Amino acid sequence: MVQKIGLSAGAIKTFEEAIKYLELNFSDAEVRKFTDKMEEKLLLIKLNPRLGSKSGKKPNVYKTVINKRIVLYYQYKPIKKEILLLAFWNTWQNPKKLKI
């Protein structure tokens, strides 16, 4: 089981962008639904860090779907028993712009 979940600067930035997008285009209920779903997913990842599929970009980097528009990228550090959240990626963006 993971003991710590950290946020990279990229995760903070992309999370804020995702929330802004949702606030502009959807209701408050949808924003709450997204944050609830994200919290649920983080609990699952904490219990099973290899829950997501390997992203293939870097060792121990996984991705998991939060909703149909947002994918969470994270890195599992098994020796430290830590997870580092890397990015909340909007699937409508050009994947070539993803920097993790």
Q: How confident is the model at residue 56 (pLDDT cuts 50, 70, 90)?
A: confident
Of 68, 73, 67, the C-alpha closest to 89 is 73
List the 82-90 sheet strands across, edge first. Answer: 4-7, 82-90, 70-77, 61-65, 53-54
Q: Which domains does the chain have, with CATH numbers?
A: 4-90 (3.30.2310.20)
Rounded mean pLDDT of 5-14?
Answer: 94
What pLDDT is attached to residue 3? 83
